[in-house]
DNA sequence: CTGATAATGAAAATCATTTTCATTCTAGTG
DNA sequence: CACTAGAATGAAAATGATTTTCATTATCAG
C-alpha cells in the first residue's frame, strides 16, 4: 500500500519513550499493532493480531506484524507466551495492562487460557524467598519466573 | 533397517506393564530409546536421542524416535518439555528417575537447563493450597503445574 | 529538498514435527 | 510350519510457524 508510516497519529504515539530516539520510528503498522494489543483483553496469536490490524489498514503484512510484536516484546511493552500449541501468543505487559504479575491456567481439553491472579506465587515474599533460595543453592540469578497450570477448565470440568 | 524388532532383549524389556498387552509391541527401537532415556541424566532433544540410539543400531530412523518418545510420553514414562528454543526435549519421568517432582532453571545466555529441587513449590502443602485456591476461585481442576525460572546461571552470572 | 538509513511486504528459506505410504515384522492361528 | 491381520518402520513429502532475503518505499536530520 505504500503510503506513509505515521498517517493518522502523526506523533501522538503513546507507546513509551524508550522507543523514541535511537532510530526506532513510530510507524503506522507499529502503532496499529500496539493499539490492538492495548485494547485487547486476552492472549493473541500473531495471526489474530494481523486480522485485527487489517481491520484498520488492509495492506499490512504478516511479516511486519511479526516484526512489530518482536519489537514491542524486546522493549518490554508486550509479553510473549507459549502455551505449547506450537505458536506464540502475546499480551500487553503486566504494568501496561494493570493486571500486575499473573500466571496462566491452560485447559488441556478446549485450549482456553485464563489468567490466574492472587495466588500464593504472586506474593512478594514468596517470589523473594524463591529467588534467594535459587541464588543460594544454585548461584543462579532469577530474572523471570513463569508458572503454567494445566488441567480442566470449568466448562470442560 | 529391517532386521527384527526385539533382537537382543527378547522379552526382558523393563519399561512397564502398561505397554504390554493392548497391542503395543516391545520393539528394538523402543527398547533403545527407553534405554537411552533411562541412562541419561539430562534433558535430551529428539536429535540427541537419535544420535545415542544410533550408537547401538545404525539404521534407526528419526521418525521412529519421534514416535517412540511420543509413545513413552503418552504412557507416562518420559516427560516432554519445552524451553522455548523451538524444539521439544525429553527426560525420564520423575518417578523412574527417582528425582521426584522438580522444576527447571534456564539460562537465557548459554541455554543450559538445570534441575531445581527442594524449592518451596515442591512442598506438598504448597502444591495443595495452590490447587485448592485454583479450584475455589476458578473452578479449574489442576492436573499439572509447571514452573520455569529464567535467568543467568553461575557461569554466565 | 536530499541522502542515509529504517521499514515494509512478498516470496523464498528454515526447521522441527507430522503425515503418507510402501515395505517389513510380529504374534498368533490352524 | 505356513499364513495372515495388524503393528511398526523408515524414507520422502507435507505442514506450519517463524525467519530471512531483497527490491521498493518511507522517514527524518541536515
Ligand atoms: Mn495473561
Ligand atoms: Mn529436569
Ligand atoms: Zn476447557
Ligand atoms: Zn549460562
Q: Judge: B120–A126 Cβ closer than 8 Å, yes or no.
A: yes
Confidence (pLDDT) at B38: 94
Confidence (pLDDT) at B16: 59
User: Kind of pairing, strands A103-107 and A141-152?
Assistant: parallel
Answer with the one of B82, B97, B112 that is the final residue of a domain.
B97
Same domain? B88 vs B116:
no
Confidence (pLDDT) at A7: 42
Contact B125, B107 (CB under 8 A): no
Confidence (pLDDT) at A22: 62
**DSSP classification of residue A76:** T
Mean pLDDT of chain B: 88
Same domain? B63 vs B15:
yes
Same domain? B56 vs B90:
yes
- Give the range of the structural domain holding residue A86, as residue numbers without chain letter: 1-97
Give the CATH number, domain containing residue B112: 3.30.1490.190
Residue lying closest to nucleotide C16, CA to C1': B87
The C-alpha of A27 sits at a distance from chain B's nearest C-alpha, in angstroms, of: 29
Answer with the one of A97, A123, A143 that is the final residue of a domain.
A97
Q: Does B136 touch chain A (CB under 8 A)?
A: no
Same domain? A15 vs A89:
yes
- Tally of domains in chain B: 2
Q: Does B149 touch chain A (CB under 8 A)?
A: yes
Name the one residue in this structure whose C-alpha cell is 485494547: A39
Q: Report d(CA A69, CA A31) in Å as an integer.
A: 11
The C-alpha of B146 sits at a distance from chain A's nearest C-alpha, in angstroms, of: 5
pTM over 0.85: yes
Task: Return the closest nucleotide (C1') to the Cα of B5.
Answer: C25
Q: Out of B114, B148, B152, whose CB is closest to A146?
A: B148
Residues of chain A falling short of pLDDT 70: 1-23
- Higher-scoring residue by pLDDT: B12, A156: A156
Confidence (pLDDT) at B4: 46
Name the one residue in this structure whose C-alpha cell is 539460562: B107
**Grid coordinates given for A64:** 511486519
Same domain? A87 vs A105:
no
Confidence (pLDDT) at A4: 46
Same domain? B75 vs B144:
no
- Give the tens place of pLDDT for each residue, B89-135: 999 999 999 999 999 999 999 999 999 998 878 777 888 999 999 99
Answer with the one of B45, B77, B97 that is the final residue of a domain.
B97
Same domain? A59 vs A93:
yes
Confidence (pLDDT) at B25: 83
Confidence (pLDDT) at A2: 38
Same domain? B124 vs B80:
no
Nearest to A28 by CA among A45, A50, A42, A9: A9
- Give the tens place of pLDDT for each residue, B62-94: 999 999 999 999 999 999 999 999 999 999 999
Same domain? A17 vs A82:
yes
Give the CATH number, domain containing residue A20: 1.10.10.10
Same domain? B41 vs B22:
yes
User: Kind of pairing, strands B88-92 and B78-82?
Assistant: antiparallel
Task: Provide the CA A46 to C1' D17 distance, Å, integer.
Answer: 10
Mutation target to probe the A interface, by most A beta carbons within 10 A, among B73, B125, B151 is: B151
Confidence (pLDDT) at B66: 98
**CB-to-strand C under 7 Å, chain B 103-142:** none
Same domain? A116 vs A88:
no
Amino acid at each position: 500500500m505504500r503510503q506513509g508510516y505515521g498517517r493518522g497519529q502523526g506523533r501522538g504515539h503513546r507507546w513509551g519513550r524508550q522507543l523514541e530516539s535511537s532510530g526506532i520510528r513510530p510507524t503506522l503498522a507499529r502503532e496499529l499493532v500496539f493499539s490492538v494489543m492495548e485494547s485487547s483483553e486476552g492472549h493473541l496469536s500473531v495471526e489474530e493480531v494481523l486480522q485485527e490490524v487489517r481491520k484498520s489498514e488492509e495492506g499490512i503484512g504478516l511479516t511486519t506484524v511479526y516484526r512489530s510484536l518482536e519489537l514491542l516484546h524486546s522493549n518490554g511493552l508486550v509479553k510473549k507466551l507459549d502455551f505449547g500449541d506450537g505458536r506464540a501468543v502475546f499480551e500487553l505487559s503486566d504494568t501496561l495492562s494493570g493486571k500486575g504479575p499473573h500466571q496462566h491456567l491452560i485447559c488441556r481439553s478446549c485450549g482456553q487460557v485464563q489468567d490466574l491472579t492472587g495466588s500464593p506465587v504472586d506474593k512478594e515474599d514468596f517470589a523473594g524467598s524463591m529467588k534467594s533460595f535459587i541464588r543460594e543453592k544454585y548461584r543462579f540469578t532469577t530474572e523471570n519466573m513463569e508458572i503454567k497450570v494445566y488441567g480442566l477448565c470449568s466448562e470442560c470440568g
